[in-house]
Structure formats: C-alpha cells, structure tokens
Amino acid sequence: MTKTDFIDYICRPYCMFFKEGEKEEMACLGARVAEALVEKSCFDTLALGVYEKDAVAWLNPKHDEILFQQVCHGCEFLSEDCEYRSEGPPEDTEPCGGLILLALLMANEIIDHTVLKGAHEPD
C-alpha cells in the first residue's frame, strides 16, 4: 500500500493539517502505524472511513495515554512540529489524522493497546 492510498483513508478524511496537492517529505507516525495495521490485516479495512471524526475518541485519557506511549513517543514530529503534543496547544488543535483514526478504532473496540505495540516495526 502506498502513501497515496493512506492519504485517501487517513489524511483527507481526518487530518486538519492536510492540504490537497501538497507533498510531504515524511508521514507522521500515527499514519504509518495505521497503515502498518492495514498491511497486517489487523482489522477489517471496510472500517476505514466509516467513523466520523469525534474528539471524544482522542480526548479519552486512557486511550490518549496509550497512544502517546505507543505512537507519539516515537514520532519524529513530537519534539518540534506537533502542535497537538506541544506544551500549551491551541484549544482547537487536533492530533494528526493517523492518531485520530487510531483513537476512533480504539473507541469502537476495533483495536486495543496490544495491537498497537510494535505495529510499525517489521515482523
């Protein structure tokens, strides 16, 4: 699966930072983890794009802690570029689209923390 594919099911529907036609050098780890789960068939891909964006999913403290530890902690954007994980983020900021999709999958009990562990590492 290529980046073009995950733009369709991660960036375009979920990411507030996505700009049509803008080429990014690198994808955030949230998107790479979500893509890796798709490649490993960890959940039914029919679920992709079905879930409405809902802040309740990513603001769930238990899920947020898991997502921080298992995804954001290893993300290249964490230290400088990620507004959502910055100290004192703007009130209306959102995580990247990948993290949003992962949070929605957790909220809907499609995946749990065991699935996330090492998801972006090769088998």
Residues that bind ligand SF4 (CB under 6 A): 28-30, 71-72, 75, 77-78, 82, 84-85, 95-96, 99
- Written as six digits, the tokens of 98 are 């990948």
From the CB of 29, what's the least distance to ligand SF4, in Å?
4
Cα Dmax for the chain: 38
Nearer to ligand SF4, 83 or 108 (CB): 83
Nearer to ligand SF4, 48 or 96 (CB): 96
From the CB of 78, what's the least distance to ligand SF4, in Å?
4
- Written as six digits, the tokens of 10 are 């991660």
Q: According to the 3-state scheme, what is the secondary structure of 17-40?
A: CCCCCCCCCCCCHHHHHHHHHHHC
Rg of the chain in Å (alpha carbons): 13
From the CB of 44, what's the least distance to ligand SF4, in Å?
23
Strands (E), 1-51: none
What DSSP state is assigned to residue 73? G
Nearer to ligand SF4, 52 or 80 (CB): 80
CA of residue 42 relative to chain centroid, distance: 15
From the CB of 5, what's the least distance to ligand SF4, in Å?
18
Nearer to ligand SF4, 49 or 89 (CB): 89
